[in-house]
Amino acid sequence: YRKPAEVERKWFVVDATDKVLGRLAAEVASILRGKKKPIYQPHVDTGDYVVIVNADKIRLTGLKEEKKEYYIPRKFIGHSAMISFRDLFEKYPERVVERAVRGMLPHNPLGRKMGKKLFVYAGPAHRHQAQKPETLELSYIETFFKEDSSARIGICGDRKTEIRCSPCPADSRHR
């Protein structure tokens, strides 16, 4: 078993341009936990550092952009608030990505420690060039819709697979 001090950590940069928020967050959370490493142990922080750039260019599928809301707890009873995705995204696009990733980490002290290895920036510039981060291409499944409203699913990465689904209803709104 590895001790926390024996773990070698790398730095990765992920470009969030035109990525779906939940799928991006799932991949990044897996990297932060270290699940892709052969030395992974659930009780040891074996993950790497991740820098996400262009957080202001992420997207959501379906109608989530209009319907999604975030709960904001307050100190006093009855003072809690809800804020829509659109309002939070306009003011602080970084916080939307941070909340999505941290929600997929363990909800305990170890998860909070893993969350501190995440750095999110709204634009293309970041301040971690001294660590010489590697660019990371994510290998999640992308879903996109063509003009004729037929769904096409392709697996990104080494495998090239396409699956055509039946046409969607004309009144459905896809992005």
pLDDT in tens, 13-61: 999 999 999 999 999 999 999 999 999 999 999 999 999 999 999 999 9
Helix (H) / strand (E) element for 120: namely strand 118-120
Contacts by residues 1-4 (CB-CB < 8 Å, ≥ 24 positions apart): 1/41, 1/44, 2/39, 2/41, 2/44, 2/46, 3/44, 4/44, 4/45
pTM value is 0.77
* Cβ(145)–Cβ(59) below 8 Å: no
The predicted pLDDT at position 1 comes to 74
Query: For the chain, what percent of residues have pLDDT higher than 90?
Result: 68
The token pair at 60 is 């959501």
* Cβ(93)–Cβ(106) below 8 Å: no
Instruction: Say how far apart CA 84 and CA 72 lie, in whole Å.
Output: 11
Q: Does pLDDT of 116 surpass 70?
A: yes
Q: Does pLDDT of 164 surpass 50?
A: no
Instruction: Say how far apart CA 82 and CA 121 lie, in whole Å.
Output: 24
Number of Cβ within 10 Å of residue 135's Cβ equals 8
